[in-house]
A and B are shown apart, each in its own frame.
Chain A
Amino acid sequence: MATADRLKAARADQKPAAGETQSAPPIAASGVALIFEESSPGRRGVDSGGGADSAKHALELLGDDLCRTDIEGFPELSEPQVLRHFLRLSQLNFGQALQFYPLGSCTMKYNPVLNDEMAALPGFASLHPATPPHLAPGALELIARMEAALAEITGMDAVSLAPAAGAQGELAGLLMIRAWEEKRGKVRRKVIIPDTAHGTNPASCTLAGFEVVVARSGPRGYLEAAEIRRLLSDDVAALMVTNPNTLGMFEPEIQEIAAALHERGAMLYLDGANMNALLGVAKPGDMGADIVHLNLHKTFSTPHGGGGPGAGPVAVKRHLEPFLPHPRIVKRADQWEFDRDRPDSIGRLRSFHGNFGMLVRAYTYILAMGGDGLAQASRHAILNAAYVRKRLEAHFPSATREPTMHECVLTHDLDTRTGVSTLDLAKRLLDFGMHPPTIYFPLVVHGALMIEPTETESLETLESFIETMERIYAEALEDPAMVKAAPHSLKLRRIDEVTAARRPVLRWNAR
């Protein structure tokens, strides 16, 4: 019996009888109904003070004209029902704490549990953002220390912790370049971005009013100073580059590129998405960067949360400090307060003081690691990635022959040999309890598997991943149909993403 048939037979026991699958709404294979479907009129999950009389009284106070009489379709469940619903949902997720999760460029490292505990301290969690500064000196001190730590780590002069995410950090950086140029009288219109860049880079350029010029990577996978010189003109405001790049390679000509840019009056914007390779290895400030943004949810261990919240601090050299976004804190008479007198600032990116809760977590991490621990983290991250690359090279060769750092991009020949695609490989990995790497990125590598193991994974975990990849390679040759139908061991089979986009159903409806 082929593996696929065996798995199918095993699954048949769990499947509903033929008639049941025809019923509408379709049965969730996960077995967890929508919260709205679990609802019954009259149930409640809280006992709030006012009760029905309070509601009636409020309607009288405000008048019928202003008020609605119901929230149609809203759920009605008891507290234990709600808890069970969400805990059962949680069991349908993979997470870094439970599974190997080597998503390239995402830095899925261990999130120390102390981080969350510190953010939940009442002195931080219950602090209202409009609290007068003299009643929140601890929070402002944390902001100041965090700014100083990130400046030291990146080799930059000043840091703003305001951006809510990396993409907002990018926007802030580009708007600062624009403001700096406006102040000098002429705004250059173009920003150079390599073809290996993350999609947020060009999207941020558009929002900041710049036109994107694409730089092509050289034959060895890195950006050559000659290409930048070719594209440079008096209309180029900056180069926006990720270092190490999305192939995991340190950009060897970065200093020469920085010099070429500066010579023509343009700036170097360094995307710090891959900072986990650089801690104590090379500082962006020393490379010649004028701006760098960081992702605290990557390098600095704040949880990814299923897609946020993160934080995207932006660090600059001295000449751009006046342009940093609000808010800025300043020490006057030995006390931190907000500096309102910043005429050159690009303004606000969001309300209040940034994702402060994430700053507490990242600061906790930096204290725990220390300067020595951070340097160790990058070296071990690089070791882990180099090990995976080397051990898999027989069947999954690296996209580059050059040395790589904290991640590696691998390819394979299965699609031409057996019709098994990178997506099929990824789905089959799920059957072995591992989250797949980032796939089909960077776009310049055919069928890419972008693997970032991070420093917090053990040799045993890496070995198990390597073994699994080799096994899947063998399966793909022996029984390609089985691999193409993966996953087999989960409650759900492969999900049809095409239909979701073709006939969008974006909310539950009562009828």
Chain B
Amino acid sequence: MRFIPHTEADIEVMLKTVGAAQLDDLIAHVPQNLRDTAVINLPDGRAEAEVADELTQLAARNPGATGFISFLGGGYYRHYVPAAVRAITARAEFATSYTPYQPEVSQGTTQAIFEFQTLITQLTALDVANASMYDGASAAAEAILMAHRVLPKRHVVAISRALWPDYRATIRTYLSALGTLELVDLPFDLATGEIDRAALDGLATGELLCTVTGYPNAFGVIEPLAQIVELTHRAGALAIAVTAEPLALALLKPPGALGVDIAVGEGQSFGMPLQFGGPGLGFLAGRSAQVRQMPGRLVGQTTDSEGHRAFCLTLATREQHIRRERATSNICTNHSLCALAATAYLSLMGRQGLRELAARNVELAHATRAALEAAGVRRRFTGQCFNEFVVALDAPEAALAAAERQGILAGISLANDYPELGGNLLISVTEMNTPVEIERLCGVLAGGR
């Protein structure tokens, strides 16, 4: 076996040293009945070329990956990944290291995470960000648990229905066992696609723990976050903003500047391939005063014994390996290599480039929306959008099928998750879409409205 270096001679020497006659003597203490049934009935190992061939064939059976013009979004976004990002994350020094428990030989990882934390605070305009989490959905759930630690006496969690269905489902799962928190759906305004502020006003009592708002939301609508925060704070509750398309934060007013207490989201847009939905990363940022209630790893600046600047994991007394059942979260790892990809990506895009890319997305999405309207395809919501929007179709399934026949994945039907939006399609437009592609989309949807 090519990954195992032992020669027959090595094995002989080693067995002799440990006082065994054969390899299976080393497992003789495992009960016989268990060993008898332990054979793994899988085909024998194969040469690299054969394995590569098998996987290549499986990959080729995903025509949706490469053979279509795509307008799919809904929480994961198609963006160009610069080659330099892959060159950096492919470095074995980064990829094959583990949690930086020995900071003297992990300064690459710890400094990159410190830079990641800084970039996230700059994008969100908040004081402190953690080292990353699994994804946007679980980060949103963790943000609610964090809010509960800050305000333990409150129990109503108001979640926008215009939050991605997967996020709402994840939050339900995470909170299901606690039994102390009550989840209340915040309806959206059927005209604007924004949170129904009157409904929120009705919930703004002394029991309200937090509000959870998509920014932009699951319909691509840019919520009036300042007003939502104001209503939330008037009740003495915490405002949580959730962003699945973090590129929007390059152009939109940052959550922290609008008074948001905890900003979380998904980081996949920043240099990670689509990969059928993972791995991406979750980010979580908040205020300094609440740092000890934060979940997940944190890297801090310190010095070595000669006074040189260095970085290491810190505030670990919040974490499971120290606090065990009293930890702030059960999270052990972060998504470190994904955070590295994001750090490299954002460093390349830079102060101007990221804003220009965000702007390009806005221009293309708005142009597409206008062209569709000109072709008679009605936009569903009046709310302002970033790079994603909803249109109303008479026969959405037929339109999607017609588009597919023409090699276009036109969008995501909202029928499954929002019965009241049965005829509606979520369309995402990014810098990956050319004017010709947009024209073809308009053609096929205009025909199927």
Contact = CB atoms under 8 A, between A and B. Distances in A.
A455 interface: yes
Contact of B104 (A63, A131, A369, A495): A495
Given A121-B59, A203-B329, A506-B299, A86 B360 contact: no
B96 to A, nearest CB: 4
Given A252-B29, A306-B100, A29 B384 contact: no
A66 B384 contact: yes
A123 B60 contact: yes
Contact of B353 (A44, A255, A287): A44
A279 B40 contact: yes
B317 to A, nearest CB: 7
Nearest to A88: B108
A303 B433 CA distance: 33
B407 to A, nearest CB: 11
B94 A506 contact: no
Given A66-B252, A352-B166, A370-B46, A129 B277 contact: yes
Most chain A C-beta atoms within 10 Å of own C-beta, residue among B37, B74, B310, B319: B310
Contact of B96 (A111, A123, A209): A111
A90 B348 contact: no
B324 A202 contact: yes
Contact of B94 (A76, A90, A497, A501): A90
A200 B111 CA distance: 26
Nearest to B102: A436
B123 A380 contact: no
A11 B20 CA distance: 47
B193 to A, nearest CB: 15
A158 B310 CA distance: 46
Q: Which of B23, B86, B173 has the most CB of A within 10 A?
A: B173
A350 B170 CA distance: 5
Nearest to A379: B23
A418 interface: no
Nearest to A386: B18
Contacts of B315: 501, 504
A379 B27 contact: yes
Interface stretch (A147-155, A228-236, A409-417, A470-478): A147-155
Contacts of A35: 115, 343, 347
Interface string A163-179: 01111101100110010
B211 interface: no
Chain B contact patch, size range? 35 or more
Interface residues of A, number: 210
A306 B340 contact: yes
Contacts of A114: 48, 51-52
A204 B329 CA distance: 8
A200 to B, nearest CB: 5
B222 A97 contact: no
Interface in A81-95: 82-83, 85-87, 89-95
Interface stretch (B75-83, B230-238, B372-380): B75-83
B169 A326 contact: yes
Contacts of B320: 167, 199-200, 202-203
Contacts of B19: 390
A283 B34 contact: yes
B382 interface: no
Contact of B309 (A27, A79, A110, A405): A27
Contacts of B354: 71, 74
A17 interface: no
A386 B102 CA distance: 25
A99 B301 CA distance: 26
A371 B384 contact: no
B42 A370 contact: yes
B333 A165 contact: yes
Interface stretch (A48-56, A260-268, A313-321): A48-56
B148 to A, nearest CB: 12
B322 A199 contact: yes
Interface in A363-385: 363-364, 366-377, 379-380, 382-384
Interface string A431-458: 0000110100000000000000001111
Given A82-B344, A125-B274, A135-B62, A371 B108 contact: no
18 contacts: A25-B309, A29-B304, A55-B355, A67-B251, A68-B253, A96-B92, A128-B276, A166-B333, A167-B331, A212-B325, A304-B97, A308-B279, A364-B51, A379-B26, A492-B107, A500-B300, A501-B300, A507-B114
